[in-house]
Structure 1
Amino acid sequence: MLKRVNVNRLILACALTLLSLVVGMAGFMTIEHYKATDAFYMTVITVSTVGFGELHPLSETGRLFVAFFILYNLVVVAYLVSVLSTFIFDGELRKLFKMYRTDQEIKRFSGHIIVCGFGRNGRKAFQELRLNGASVVVVEQDEQLMRDLSAGRTGEDYDGDGVAGGQIFTVVGDATHDLILQQAGVTRASALITALPKDADNVFVALSARALNPRLKIIARASYKTSESKLLSAGADSVVMPDEIGGSHMANLVVRPEVIRFLDLISGLSVDKLRLEEITFDQLRQDLRGRSIRELDVRSITGATIIGLRQANGALLVSPPVDYVPASGDVLLLLGSEDQIEKFEVQFRQL
């Protein structure tokens, strides 16, 4: 918002300067009957106060016009100098160029993911997406927050390289506005996560995003159970309630702690984390299609385990039978360490 205000100030200063030239030329041509070139010359030397002198003595009406014209331009020139000084000495030109360059890069994104809101939930979603190699655009109103994060002043690592800071492609503005979502490339995006603090805002974002891109996958955050149905009706595909999940997690640490510790391994909350991965039938190597799970022998080759299979009709098979033959539309769900999953990618995924 601050950048937009500064740009508007620059546009206004340029418009006032142009208006001054037009008024000056029109006055000299009308009152003193100057040619256009002579009127432009007189206007410039009058505005700049260089004192070269008139082309011919001015009439009484002409002198009154010049007097008021000079007073008007004292204000215009002072305002123009003030705005230009701000842009030059406060680094506004550099900020505008960086903003323009970021906007141009975002316009080249396709199939990316938009994260609306960069609070605790939004940041965690952003980190996980970046760690998985996804292209992410953040929509956030707090410009200073995003500048501090990109500069590494918060000590948080967003590149996954152990170094705090890193570039975050950001659109600064209110995510509930269609124009801001369009600037983030919502029509070209594959998914959107709305993690704004207010449920009403998340409902509005889901509604707007669904209207702008009917194929978009929308994940929404909710604080209250009553908001879930509203978000689903607004177009969200899934609704996540962090407070409810957190409370359930703490209770289960008491009731079934080992199960929760295992889930922590999968979710990456533990040091020795495991990785869940999925691969569709179409992503399997051509020569492996038509083989049963027994014949694929994933565990012996890679160490990873097929823990589930989502069939084309939507049915989920947990620990699918070893004689089951994956078919078109099926999705294999695998569990293993990072090394095991990477080995599976090399051995089984279509290049």
Structure 2
Amino acid sequence: MRWRQLKLYRFFWAFGLIIFSLVTGVVAYQVLEGYTLAEAFYMTVITVSTTGFAEVHPLSPEGRLFTSVYILANIGLLAYTVSVVSTYLFEGELRSIWKNYMNEREIKSFSGHVIVCGYGRNGSKATRDLLASGERIVVIEQNQELIAAGEPLQEGKLNFLLGDATEDLLLEQAGVRHAKALISTLPKDADNVFVALTARGLNPKLEIIARASEKTTEQKLFRAGANHVVMPDEIGGSHMASLITQPQVIHFLSLLNGSGPNKMHLEEVHLDQLAKDLRDLTIRELDLRNRTGATLIGLNRHGSEFLVSPDADTRLQAGDVLILLGSRGQIEAFTKIFAGSRV
């Protein structure tokens, strides 16, 4: 709402000045010349418009002085009003306001989406990866240039809101109460703490991932309600060191983040989303490797116990989350076979 108020401020201000000028002229002609309301309004209009029609009655010296000053003042006022109206009509301001209004209306219908606060280096990268995974995203950014740079990515699942993400109202407009996750990548740690604190208060079930530059901020973000804290500088330094000490491991990890036919994927699959009769089967009975080519590298049991390379005789239970490694085709084959399978 605030962005719209800011954009319309000059528009309403210009027309407010016009109304004020008309009222001033009407009152002045009534007081100085004794005109009736209709006569004063007529005199005001022909003076402001500089049409040059005849006066209602001959003006007194005071009336002539007021009219002279009044004409000069309205020349500047009309020039300002014309420039404002031209901006809205010919430079796309009205179109921009309408577009943002419709954008806000669309966001109100969202549920289970992801909110990204800040569209800098980290935020834009997170947004692109989330779009690639099919997520619906709302980005909050106060830099108009960054928004313009990101608009070509919009494919029906990316919406921008212009403004400060630390404002409660803007988080509400982004649908924080119905979102499933929020990523805060603002440049200042204090702003990320504030966003996490506000978002947690508005949605206790929200998954919050926040960026931190300083190690001392990490615990503050956790106390503010963040579920995860990411420190890009620390991760980058560790990555560079690993390129020396474990280059093949890094090469393998790059396959997970790369592109092309050789790209590998780590996918989490909730057992509850698959066929019910998969429960109570063992990993050996599923025979994932032979049937799909994908590899089961981990199993999260009820969100409390994590099994790495689980034993083949491990029996699946409701609520389990499978961590699969494979190509896109292998992951799709797994979903196709087991989503409706009756093993």
**TM-score normalized with structure 2 length:** 0.85
> For this pair of structures, how many residues does the alignment match?
339
SS state of the match for residue 203, structure 1?
helix
Contact 1:32/1:62 (8 A) holds in 2: no
Query: Does residue 81 in structure 1 map to residue 77 in structure 2?
Result: no
Equivalent residue in structure 2 for 1:288, among 268, 272, 278: 278
Cα distance change of structure 1 residues 329 and 288 upon mapping to structure 2, 3 Å threshold: closer
Equivalent residue in structure 1 for 2:175, among 153, 170, 185: 185
Query: Does residue 333 in structure 1 map to residue 323 in structure 2?
Result: yes
SS state of the match for residue 218, structure 2?
helix
Q: Per-residue deviation at 1:81? A: 1.2
Give the stretch that moved more between structures: 47-56 or 6-15: 47-56
Query: Does residue 301 in structure 1 map to residue 291 in structure 2?
Result: yes
Give the stretch that moved more between structures: 233-242 or 321-330: 321-330
Give the stretch that moved more between structures: 284-293 or 192-201: 284-293
Query: Does residue 315 in structure 1 map to residue 299 in structure 2?
Result: no
Q: Provide the rounded CA distance (Å) in 2 between the counterparts of 1:290 and 1:42.
A: 91
SS state of the match for residue 36, structure 2?
coil
Q: Provide the rounded CA distance (Å) in 2 between the counterparts of 1:269 and 1:7.
A: 45
Q: For 1:59-74, what aligned pairs fall within 5 Å after superposition?
A: 66-74=67-75
Contact 2:279/2:318 (8 A) holds in 1: no
Percentage of pairs with the same residue: 53
Q: For 1:137-156, what aligned pairs fall within 5 Å after superposition?
A: 137-150=138-151
Cα distance change of structure 1 residues 297 and 38 upon mapping to structure 2, 3 Å threshold: farther
Q: Per-residue deviation at 1:240? A: 1.0
State the match for 1:215 in structure 2.
205
Cα distance change of structure 1 residues 294 and 159 upon mapping to structure 2, 3 Å threshold: farther
Q: Provide the rounded CA distance (Å) in 1 between the counterparts of 2:178 and 2:22.
A: 44
Contact 1:305/1:334 (8 A) holds in 2: yes
Q: Per-residue deviation at 1:115? A: 1.3
Q: Provide the rounded CA distance (Å) in 1 between the counterparts of 2:24 and 2:326.
A: 75
Contact 2:112/2:178 (8 A) holds in 1: yes
Q: Per-residue deviation at 1:204? A: 2.0
Give the stretch that moved more between structures: 184-193 or 174-183: 174-183
Give the stretch that moved more between structures: 46-55 or 60-69: 60-69
Q: Provide the rounded CA distance (Å) in 2 between the counterparts of 1:295 and 1:167.
A: 39
Q: For 1:158-173, what aligned pairs fall within 5 Å after superposition?
A: 158=153, 169-173=159-163
State the match for 2:225 in structure 1.
235
Q: Provide the rounded CA distance (Å) in 2 between the counterparts of 1:112 and 1:29.
A: 61
Query: Does residue 199 in structure 1 map to residue 195 in structure 2?
Result: no
SS state of the match for residue 169, structure 1?
strand
Cα distance change of structure 1 residues 271 and 261 upon mapping to structure 2, 3 Å threshold: farther
SS state of the match for residue 79, structure 1?
helix
State the match for 1:154 in structure 2.
none
| Equivalent position amino acid for 2:274 in 1 | L
Q: Provide the rounded CA distance (Å) in 1 between the counterparts of 2:314 and 2:3.
A: 59
Q: Provide the rounded CA distance (Å) in 1 between the counterparts of 2:81 and 2:68.
A: 20
Give the stretch that moved more between structures: 237-246 or 25-34: 25-34
Gaps in structure 2 of 5+ consecutive residues: none
1:304-334 residue CA offsets vs partner (Å, 9 max, x unmatched): 1222111115111122233333222221111
1:158-194 residue CA offsets vs partner (Å, 9 max, x unmatched): 479xxxxx99522222222323323333233221111
Q: Provide the rounded CA distance (Å) in 1 between the counterparts of 2:148 and 2:117.
A: 16
Q: For 1:107-118, what aligned pairs fall within 5 Å after superposition?
A: 107-118=108-119
State the match for 1:21 in structure 2.
22
1:193-249 residue CA offsets vs partner (Å, 9 max, x unmatched): 111222222222212222232222110111222221111111111011122222222
| Equivalent position amino acid for 2:8 in 1 | V
State the match for 1:274 in structure 2.
264
Contact 2:3/2:163 (8 A) holds in 1: no
| Equivalent position amino acid for 2:299 in 1 | L
Equivalent residue in structure 1 for 2:165, among 162, 175, 185: 175
Give the stretch that moved more between structures: 170-179 or 55-64: 55-64
| Equivalent position amino acid for 1:327 in 2 | Q
Cα distance change of structure 1 residues 14 and 150 upon mapping to structure 2, 3 Å threshold: same
1:101-142 residue CA offsets vs partner (Å, 9 max, x unmatched): 333333332222111222221121111100001111222232
SS state of the match for residue 49, structure 1?
coil
Q: Provide the rounded CA distance (Å) in 2 between the counterparts of 1:50 and 1:260.
A: 79
Q: Per-residue deviation at 1:64? A: 5.9
Give the stretch that moved more between structures: 19-28 or 335-344: 19-28
Contact 2:184/2:196 (8 A) holds in 1: yes
State the match for 1:155 in structure 2.
none
